[in-house]
Amino acid sequence: MQNQKLMNIEGIGKNYRVSKSFFGSEEIAALDNVSLELFMGKTLAIVGESGSGKTTLAKIIMRLENSSAGSVSLINKAKEITNIEQIPKAQFYSKIQMVFQDPFSSLNPRKKIWQIIVAPLVNCKTLTREESKDVAAKYLEMVGLSASFLDCYPHTLSGGQRQRVGIARALVLQPEILILDEPLSALDVSIQAQIINLLLKLQRELGLTYLFISHDLSVVKHFSDYVAVLYAGQLVEYGGAIDVIDNPMHPYTKALVESSFSFKNYRGKNVEIRNDENMETERHEKKWKKQAVEGEIEVSKLRSSHCNFASRCESSTDACYQRKPDYLEINVRENLRERKRNIACLHV
């Protein structure tokens, strides 16, 4: 049971054609040769900026988009590997479900909560109204809401409550895998903690496997087992969540970690307190500068022949512009333990 593989994502690529001008169009690579694995009961986090291909990957896994290259396959308990394209859709979606980012637009405003929750069941089972309500009540309870919400409409709920409804809807088909597409980013801090706790509890109790898309590294570090860092459609680093965030090796991951804000680095931390008067003056003079990587993410052209991050990278050399770094597995020795890490950088 330990570390049983549940999903294999192999060499996924996705190209989009964008029109450049009147005379023609250009193909860009939104995803390029992305390979990942999901393990039963574990959480894989995917981090990266907007435009890095996180959501495209989720859409391909959910069969909402077709990939241009590569394949996604599910592995069952008997270790049989099936390409997801060959699984009937009803069966497929009872194995894998998704929780969306925005709890305000992902619930139908004209349906009652119980209707929203049992909606996925309609394709699989026929239920009477009473049975449906019972099912909905059961799942509401599972996500920590009382049955009194059954006949409410979504607009009467707060953001956190809506996100719980979204989770209940995803659970109703008893899936093995949940894709969580930034489920916390629309929520307040104290509500975020409640939803994190709920997701952790569900994982412990139901043995769920999560694919967690996020940009908040402190949440990722706490919530996930593995983390994959995407940049402009390519995997740049992959490893254990804590290993990668505490000891990032790819320059882009380093930049991400450095530009995260934390209340532990409060302003004036490095200013010595001598007396209050002094502090007053120093406080206003002190120049504040956050480590920030220059520039912005650029779309990757199809068959680009250099490192996508080279133009923003502090340690880039001519070699970075001449060939694409391979995505290699390396062993990192940390606290006397060998850990596997995948990384795509010429300088590591």
The contact set with another protein (CB under 8 A) reads: 49-50, 158-160, 188-194, 196-197, 200-201, 215, 217-219, 221-223, 225, 241-242, 255-256, 258-269, 273, 276, 279, 283-284, 287-294, 296-297
> Closest by alpha carbon to 293, among 227, 236, 212?
236
- Based on CB atoms, which residue is closest to another protein, 50 or 86? 50
- Based on CB atoms, which residue is closest to another protein, 74 or 256? 256
Q: Are strands 328-334 and 300-301 parallel, antiparallel or unpaired?
A: unpaired
Question: Phi-psi region for residue 41, left (φ > 0), alpha (ψ -120 to 50) or beta?
Answer: left
Least distance between another protein and beta carbon 221 (Å): 6
What is the 3 state secondary structure string of 167-218?
HHHHHCCCCCEEEEECCCCCCCHHHHHHHHHHHHHHHHHHCCEEEEEECCHH
- Based on CB atoms, which residue is closest to another protein, 94 or 161? 161
Are 300 and 234 in contact by the 8 Å Cβ rule? The answer is yes
Least distance between another protein and beta carbon 232 (Å): 13
- Based on CB atoms, which residue is closest to another protein, 72 or 255? 255
Least distance between another protein and beta carbon 200 (Å): 6
Q: What is the DSSP letter of 28?
A: E
Residue 262 tokens read as 């934390």
- Based on CB atoms, which residue is closest to another protein, 120 or 251? 251
Least distance between another protein and beta carbon 208 (Å): 13
Least distance between another protein and beta carbon 102 (Å): 13
Least distance between another protein and beta carbon 236 (Å): 14
Are 156 and 145 in contact by the 8 Å Cβ rule? The answer is no
CA-based angle 231:232:235, to the nearest 5? 45
- Based on CB atoms, which residue is closest to another protein, 102 or 134? 102
Least distance between another protein and beta carbon 290 (Å): 4
- Based on CB atoms, which residue is closest to another protein, 113 or 135? 113
Least distance between another protein and beta carbon 16 (Å): 17
> Closest by alpha carbon to 179, among 30, 49, 55?
55
- Based on CB atoms, which residue is closest to another protein, 1 or 273? 273
Rounded Cα distance between 195 and 160, Å, is 7
Q: Is 318 helix (H, G, I), strand (E, B) or coil?
A: helix
Rounded Cα distance between 259 and 88, Å, is 44
